[in-house]
Structure 1
Amino acid sequence: MKLIDHTPQSLADYTTAQVANLVPDGRHQALREAIGRHQDEALARTIACIDKVAAWRPGEFNYLHSSQYCQYLYYLANTIWVREKDAASATRLFLLNKALNGIDLFYEIAMPAHFFIGHSVGIVLAKATYGDYLVLYQNSTVGRHIDKIPTVGEGVIIYPNSAVIGASVVGDGCVVSQGARIVDRQVPPRSMAFTAPGGELALRPAPEDLLREYFRL
């Protein structure tokens, strides 16, 4: 794995310094130590994701690539939480990700091993079930409603300004078109959900092999 313009140690220092500036409460040393303990695993998760994204150069992580760094901050926060239940460190990384990238992706959420964020601004993700090879774009929302939690299948593409809410189930290989709203609905596998001229949700077969534009499968 190649870190562009960083070593693991300098990358950990860089992330810690960002948090210290955002949350200047004097507790950054504890965060730096937590990052040091779990950075290898977080980087391994990040690079496994990068290697599958068709538009990204395999084996390279660039901290100035906002989508890559966004996903790294999630994996780092999530790894720290899963391994140590260190809410203080994980929360600081969550807040950094939110401040830098405009994404609401909590560290307790179990994201898949491979996902791609086209543009992070305005993405809000609930504690739902997410399948592998997920594509997300700006202003997309996956949200719960009271105790109703969505399920998003494998190989799903969620385009900008769309939402999957409540007890919705989006099947494998589905496409949620720009602006579509799926609320307490079942979307069969390999369907495209879109907004019909009258404003109602409509379905048609999803394009074949669209996912290969995003991932090396």
Structure 2
Amino acid sequence: MLKPLHLSRTELAAYVARQLVTFYPDGLDTDAPSVLAAYLDAALLRLGRCINEVRWWTPDQFDHLHSTQYTLFLYYLSNTIWKATGNRTLCAKLFGLNKALNGIDLFYEIDMPEVMFIGHSVGIVFAKATYGNYLVVYQNSTVGKNHGVAPVLGEGVVMYAGTAIIGGCQVGDGTVLSQGTSLVNADSPGHCTVYPAAGGQVVFKPTRHNALQDIFRR
């Protein structure tokens, strides 16, 4: 079981509750401490799967002062509570807290992968799309809809800084978007690296280095 590094489980739930009161002093959700405590273990179980897959992180250990780990924790907590209770007010606050602290737009209703890595959360926006496992996303990247159509991302997709996947894209397994590249209503064959080309087009080239092996323990 995942173990919080600095706080007990009880202290961690109380810590999140105090943050919510600080950011949202509206007197609503007075039962938030008990709800957070009730679903904390389920959220930590999901977070633990993710932490244990990342090479750089100590297995079975969660540091709430590690901003990326805390980013993932707040998402898993909000999503877990949403699925179990449908408490939109509390989950909206957890979403807003994550956005305020970490600069990420990751809505609690979105189904994210069991294993993912976020490299610097600032400026990342996730739409309600389909996400494959072992997703890697770096800062200022966007997954978005176009006229209501959302992308489908396969397994092992890597989005380097400043990239975007927008609209009706079928992104094959093992696709890597090089820095600053955008896919807009375009498919990727997978197991390739996508580079920008003239006239707003993109070009697909063989991937020279497997970034997933550097990040994950799989």
TM-score, scaled to structure 1:
0.97
Q: Contact (CA 8 Å) 1:19, 1:28: kept in 2 or not?
A: no
Instruction: Report SS of the residue matched to 1:192.
Output: strand
Q: 1:209 to 1:105 in 2, by over 3 A?
A: same
Give 1:191 shift.
1.3
In structure 2, the partner of 1:74 is 75
Among the aligned pairs, what percent are the same residue? 46
Distance 1:139 1:15 in 2: 26
Question: What code does the residue aligned with 2:141 have?
Answer: S
Following the alignment from structure 2 to structure 1, what is the Cα–Cα distance between the partners of residues 215 and 208? Answer: 13
Distance in 1 (alpha carbons) for counterparts of 2:100 and 2:80: 20
Contact kept in structure 2, 1:16 and 1:28, CA below 8 Å: no
AA in 2 matched with 1:58: P
- Measured after TM superposition, the shift of residue 135 of structure 1 is 0.3
Whole-angstrom distance in 1 between the partners of 2:209 and 2:179: 18
Contact 1:123 1:140 in 2 (8 A): yes
2:48 is the alignment partner of 1:52? no
1:18 aligns with 2:19: yes
Listed one character per residue, the Cα deviations across residues 143-195 of structure 1 (whole Å, up to 9, x for unaligned) are 00122110111011000101000001110011011100100001001011111
How far the C-alpha of 1:28 sits from its partner, in A, is 4.7
Q: Which runs of 5+ in 1 are unaligned?
A: none
Q: How many residues align?
A: 217
Cα deviation for residue 27 of structure 1 reads: 2.4
* d(CA) in 1 for partners of 2:181, 2:149: 19
* Shift in Å, 1:30: 1.8
Counterpart secondary structure, 2:195: strand
1:127 lines up with 2:111 in the alignment: no
1-side partners of 2:187 and 2:198: how far apart? 20
> Is 1:43 matched with 2:44?
yes
Alignment match, 1:193: 194
Alignment deviations for residues 43-98 of structure 1 (CA, whole Å, 9 cap, x no partner): 01001100001111111100000000000000000000001111111111000000
Superposed CA RMSD in Å reads: 1.1
Tell me the amino acid that sits aligned with residue 24 of structure 1: P
2:146 corresponding residue in structure 1: 145
2:165 and 2:200 mapped to 1: Cα distance?
16
What residue number does 2:107 align with?
A: 106
Report the TM-score, using the length of structure 2 for normalisation: 0.96
Q: How does 1:160-199 map to 2 (within 5 A)?
A: 160-196=161-197, 199=200
In structure 2, how many angstroms separate the alpha carbons of the residues matched to 1:205 and 1:86?
Answer: 46
5+ residue gaps, structure 2, are: none
Any conservation in 2 of the 1:34–1:89 contact (CA below 8 Å)? no
Runs of 4+ residues over 4 Å off in structure 1: none
